[in-house]
Amino acid sequence: MNIKCPDPIDEEDQCIWRWTPKHNFELKSAYSTMVGSLWAPKQPIWIIIWSLKVPQRVRLFLWIAYQQKLMTNGERCCRHFSSSPRCSDCSSYTETVIHALRDCNVTHRLWLQILPATLTRHFFSMNLHTWFSCNLSTNFLHPVLKLSWNILFASLTWQLWKRRNNFVFNNISSSETDTINHGITWAKYYYGITCKGTIGGLIRDDNGVWLIGFAKVIGHSSSLQAELWATLEGMKLAWEQGYPRVVVQSNCKQAVELIRSLDLSTFSLVRAINRLRHLNWLTEIVWIPRSKPTCRCLSKDS
């Protein structure tokens, strides 16, 4: 869905370098491509965690948890940071990683609410390492939530740890339902961004008044491709609406630079955008840093 249809007036096919986002050759990318498959990490879990489709902070959390380096009460006590190794939730056991994330009565109840029947048999009896590697490499869809189990598992363990920290350090307790709902919501988000990319935008007049909006599903996509798609679709819409002067604002510097560069781009999307710009109207492409408000409309006319 994210590949633009061929256009009879477009360029002939040409060779491109597929391993960089801009399709330009870089020695670094050639090296990574050649040796990448030869990297043989000693632990398979390394690849399982670091290729999981979740944000980097969640991967980092999973990696630290797997290495048993989370600052649980047990760990803090060993390092003389606290006087008691007991779990703050149940006060009955030493708080280890597996206790905090699975075996404490609160977390145990929570997992039981969401665990698919096929996984319940061994889920609570595995040791920490097997527990992580099995669940993080299980990517079947949850029968009710229709989410990949490994993403849901990662999201829930992350939320359980955040819940525990909020309780221990901020004295704020969250209900089990809230924790589950947070975990599911974030998992849906992580899963959604890896499965179906969507783009959208809106057109405003020079007073910032909303004129028209658009949205489109573009399938698997990089962020650069998504930005280029959004620019093309937005400009097509503006042209169809008959606006004589249009300023396109994007917070993707790479996309703006690609469109502005006069070289014949290897991106068919960039070529299509530039063909559109050569029609009988005035267009300008402006980069808006993400940190600044994007409500300023620079066009004199809409």
**Site for Zn ion, rule CB under 5 A:** 87, 89-90, 104
**How far is residue 239's CA from residue 272's CA, in Å, rounded to a whole number?**
13
DSSP states of 77-126 as a string? HHTTS-S--B-TTTSSSB--HHIIIIISHHHHHHHHHH--GGGHHHHTTS
CB of 100 to Zn ion, least distance (A): 7
Beta strands in 120-242 (DSSP E): 197-204, 210-219
Name the DSSP letter for residue 20. Answer: S
Burial 200-219 (b: 16+ CB within 10 A, else e): ebebbeeeeeeeeeeeeebe
**How far is residue 278's CA from residue 203's CA, in Å, rounded to a whole number?**
20
Residues 6+ positions from 165 with CB-CB distance below 8 Å:
none
**How far is residue 67's CA from residue 97's CA, in Å, rounded to a whole number?**
9
